[in-house]
Amino acid sequence: MCQATARSLRRAISRGWQERLPRPSPAPAAPQRCSPARTPGTAPARGLASMAPSVRFSPAVRSLFDEPLAIAVQGLGPRQQVTLRTSLQDETGELFQACARYRAGDDGELDLARCPALPGGSFSGLEPMGLLWALQPQKPFWRLVKRDVRTPLPLQLEVFEGHGDPPGQLLAQAQHERVFLRDGVRRVPVREGKIRATLFLPPGSGPFPGIIDLYGTGGGLPEYRACLLANYGFAVLALAFYGYEDLPKDMKEFHLEYFEEAVNYMLQHTQVKGPGIGLLGISKGGDLCLSMASFLKGITATALINGSVANVGAVLRYKDITIPPLSFSAKRVKVNKSGIADIFDVLSNPLEGPDRQSFIPLEKAECRFLFIVGQDDRNWKSEFFAVEGSKRLQAHGKEKPEIVCYPGAGHYIEPPFFPMCAASMHLLVGMPVVWGGEPKAHCEAQIDAWQQILAFFRKHLSGKPSGISNKM
């Protein structure tokens, strides 16, 4: 059912970002060998090291969060065993950490692009970005969210002697900044009419292809995905829809006129290239984007990340139309011994009985669709939703949507190198829920999905939309 799965993923990983991985420094004269030592536990030969151990990053000081970061350690002893640990502190002070065990090459060099991690750490094998994607919160059920995109996330790397637990002597450490805004990208708070949003504009005079970006039931105004998109030449409006300033405090009902006002704001903006715009939404933001595309004019391309084709969680109103939320049964919640809920089976089937009224009439849309699907999504049945959406479009003579499925990917498919969130608090459920995903597969899915989304909008935002929606 999925048009692209592991094949496109492997292609993206092998030919894409790893080819763009910067080298920490010019390669040493002698070739580096990072195969495991024949005799485990070999003591470090410090006397042969020509300098004190030091960490090298490339880029050296700061890098964009969604771009690869090359990491190397120099000045170690030949085949010296070391443990590398990364630490990242979010804006609330919560700590994320990952560690990996390595053995330096014969020349005392350790390049993560060429040296595989040994068993016993957060990951093993050749994983140049493993120390970033494997970061895990020290506080249970905590998810990494960047709140102020104008400031970097500081990353610390420490190098310890040996493979002990706890780690041995600290040999070297270094700091690096992971930033979200490319130089020249403009951040413009928007408080026009009822709209509560932030607009990100690329450098230059424009106009630029426009996108509205929506997140899910967490509410507020997440900006990090929108600004990362703007780094690639899009004018992106991060739009809040509840739980922010004077917007509704909870998810009871939404009026599509609010979202229509945001669409018209973008269509009429001098820096936004017409004649239509794109929509990007994850989770609840996905079905809101689907409703916008189905009822509003001026939408050319819509991308959903693990979205539903049924209205979920709140009544949706537009003019004289009311779409009820899909029903659910709390009895279908499964709670494990750790107190974590699995809500995969909670929602009812939108193809059956009264719940058919909740199915969003996406056949009314005049745009192209992209469904990004994590096949291990435990929030709800994302693949089922994508397939049923495709069936409905084709049954009405519409273009078949693009569906890209990722085995081992969970619910929160974020921009590249965000650590996978396995479980966190769900505001509607009121307890921690499992989101699904296997860390390495999820990381690879995020890298590929990001490229799929960028390519989708680049391809379709130059097409002709269905017109400009009238303000109510």
Of the candidates 405, 254, 436, the one whose C-alpha atom is nearest the C-alpha of residue 340 is: 436
Long-range Cβ pairs for the range 179-185 (8 Å, 24+): 179/62, 179/63, 179/64, 179/65, 179/152, 179/153, 180/64, 180/65, 180/146, 180/149, 180/152, 180/224, 180/227, 180/228, 181/149, 181/150, 181/227, 181/231, 182/64, 182/230, 182/231, 185/227, 185/230, 185/231
257, 318 contact by CB (below 8 A): yes
Residue 327 is among the residues annotated as catalytic for this protein: no
C-alpha angle with apex 441: 383 to 69, nearest 5 degrees? Answer: 130
DSSP β-bridge partners for residue 73: 55, 110
Active site residue 255: no
411 an active-site residue? yes
Six-digit token string for 165: 């637990």
The size of the chain, in residues, is: 472
- Catalytic residue chosen out of the listed positions 66, 111, 355, 377: 377
Picking from 109, 127, 22, the residue whose alpha carbon sits closest to that of residue 64 is 22
Cβ atoms of residues 18 and 451 within 8 Å: no
- The token pair that represents 289 in the structure block: 């984007």
- Is the separation of the CB atoms in 245 and 251 below 8 Å? no
**Which of the following is catalytic: 63, 122, 283, 469?**
283
Q: Find out whether 430 and 461 touch, Cβ atoms under 8 Å.
A: no
Cα four-point dihedral sign 395, 400, 404, 410 = negative
From the number of C-beta atoms within 10 Å of its C-beta (0-12, 13-18, 19+), residue 234 rates as buried
Residue of 176, 411, 426, 460 marked catalytic: 411
Indicate which residues carry an active-site annotation: 283, 377, 411
